[in-house]
Amino acid sequence: ETGVTQTPRHLVMGMTNKKSLKCEQHLGHNAMYWYKQSAKKPLELMFVYNFKEQTENNSVPSRFSPECPNSSHLFLHLHTLQPEDSALYLCASSLRGLSYEQYFGPGTRLTVT
């Protein structure tokens, strides 16, 4: 595997379900990010981890819970989501937190029913 991978690629969940999104980067980077991409909106930064420490939480509702066990893996735990949370969730990584060049995974297309 190379680059940034995300699983699953597609997820349909009910509002009462609990699920997790997984991201893995094989680039030797130290910073990882979660973004939300909705139709007709700019990418929204959700969380930033730099050397496994969360450095930014962009006012994200608590129904989204990130976890970064090491510099190569990032999870987004989901519970009691709302239909408006349906979107493409993108993971990205960069060499370090101050590096502007971010490399994205293919995303997880999430549909909340």
Partner 1 sequence: TQLLEQSPQFLSIQEGENLTVYCNSSSVFSSLQWYRQEPGEGPVLLVTVVTGGEVKKLKRLTFQFGDARKDSSLHITAAQPGDTGLYLCAGARGETSGSRLTFGEGTQLTVNP
Report strand pairing: 64-70 vs 87-94: unpaired
Q: Is 92 in the site for partner 1 (CB under 8 A)?
A: yes
Q: Is 33 in the site for partner 1 (CB under 8 A)?
A: yes
The Cα 76–Cα 98 span in angstroms is: 22
62: helix, strand or coil: coil
**Do the beta carbons of residue 3 and residue 103 sit within 8 Å?**
yes
- Least distance from C-beta 99 to partner 1, angstroms? 7
Q: Is 38 in the site for partner 1 (CB under 8 A)?
A: no
> What residues make contact with partner 1 under the rule CB under 8 A?
4, 6, 31, 33, 40-43, 45, 48, 50, 55-56, 90-92, 94, 97-107, 109
